Each structure stands twice: as C-alpha cells, then as structure tokens.
Amino acid sequence: MILETREIGKSFGSVIALRGVSMRVQPGQVTCVLGDNGAGKSTLIKILSGVHQHDSGAYLLDGREVRLSGPREALERGIATVYQDLAMIPLMSVWRNFFLGSEPRKSLGRFDIATAKRVAREELRAMGIDIRDVDQPVGTLSGGERQSVAIARAVHFGAKVLILDEPTSALGVKQAGVVLRYIARARERGLGVIFITHNPHHAYPVGDRFLVLSRGRSLGEYGKADITRQELTSLMAGGAELEQLAHELERGG
C-alpha cells in the first residue's frame, strides 16, 4: 500500500469538512474519489498534498504514519498534485513549462536548453503524447493536451502518487477521452493515481477503486468488481439527494 488514510477528519472551526474517511492507493492502480460540490473532495486533496493537516485519524505513506509539513514535503515524498489551473504559463513554450522551477543546468549554472527540449520531447513521447512542437506556447494546446503535459511532467520528476483534481471537468468528450487515456498510461507506468471527479462516466472506465463522498463523509470504498457503473451513479445521486435534504432541514431549523 503506497498511500492510505484511516478514518481521517478535518474541521474548520465549527464546520466539519471531512469525517471518518478511509481510502487506499496502490501502485499501478487508479483510485477515483467522487462527489458533488461540497462533498469534501477539495479538503481531502489538500490533506493528501500537504496543504492542510488532518485533525483526526491517520495518514500513512508506505505503511508509516505521516503528518506533512507542506506541499514541498509531499512532493519530496513522491506525491504530485495536478490542479485544475495546471500551474502553467500560457505564453511560455511546452518545454519551459515542463521544467518550470526545475530547469536542467550546465556545469556553470546556465540553463541547458538543448537538454530541456530533448527530455521534454522524449518524456512526452514515452507517455504517448503527440505534441507537434515543444517550442510552441503551451496556451496553444487543447485542454486535454495541457493536462497530458502536466501528467507527463509529474511522471518524469519521480511521482509515486499522482493526484488529479477534476482533470476532465471543463473538457468536451474527445478531450476528456485524451486525458483518460493518459491516466491509464500513468497507471501502466506503476504510479498510484488519485482521480478526483464528479463524473462517474469518466471515473468508471479507468478506475480500479472508487471512494464516494457526501458532505464530508464516505459513502463507501469499492473495488471495480464490487460495483457497476449504474450502481456507482445511483450511489452518487443518492448522496446528492441526502445533501439537498440536509440543506433543507438546516434552513427549516
């Protein structure tokens, strides 16, 4: 088990963001975390990536309990997070974005441009990503291609766990398919992938395990053999109905 949470919880003042959430991530598997807005997905991401620390429960990496001091420590431990905004600079080239903040240097400390271009091109090809020209601005790529570059970058820099925050949410059917294909490629290269999404139709084709959240609580963690796509969709719909009922009761009180 590369990453595990046991009954993890997080509160912000009187607001309970997560309560008793357990999940497991193994190398070469995709764990999908599903839920509507307000389900607790963002809080879970921030705990796993070191932005927040959990208040209760246990967070384990390689079987050892940890309490991350921040995102830098998470990255050092092999946990890479790709957020929806991708942290890319649109006017910079693909290869500059690929190495942003971790540029290869020559012996005198100068930026090794030739190596950066070559490695970016090779790593993208290794992931099966066909970028016409690594000199082109990353802003000229489609949304799916930009997500794919971010995934390839994380793989190159040694990620063991890849957390993807709603990577298909703003994409059309074709571009979402592109991203799902590269998620599968990351799994094939032995990474443990955490795929955050509100769309069970995107999650089910690539997922090996499914954690469903509703109002900060787990509705269950399932292996693919334990739940069908229709059952997963129904479970999410039921969670949304419970959220709506809870909101109505709160307003009525």
Domain extent at residue 9 = 3-87+160-252
CATH number of the domain where residue 236 is located = 3.40.50.300
pLDDT value at position 108?
67
User: Structural domain tally of the chain?
Assistant: 1
Asked if residue 245 has pLDDT above 70, the reply is no
3-state secondary structure the chain: CCEEEEEEEEEECCEEEEEEEEEEECCCEEEEEECCCCCCHHHHHHHHCCCCCCCEEEEEECCEECCCCCHHHHHHCCEEEECCCCCCCCCCEHHHHHCCCCCCECCCCCECHHHHHHHHHHHHHHCCCCCCCCCCEHHHCCHHHHHHHHHHHHHHCCCCEEEEECCCCCCCHHHHHHHHHHHHHHHHCCCEEEEEECCHHHHHHHCCEEEEEECCEEEEEEEHHHCCHHHHHHHHHHHHHHHHHHHHHHHHC
Domain contains 132: no
Confidence of residue 26 (pLDDT cuts 50, 70, 90): very high
Asked if residue 246 has pLDDT above 50, the reply is no
Please state the pTM of the whole predicted model: 0.87
Domain contains 37: yes
pLDDT value at position 157?
87
Domain contains 180: yes
pLDDT value at position 125?
86
Domain contains 104: no
Percent of the chain at pLDDT exceeding 70: 92
Domain contains 92: no
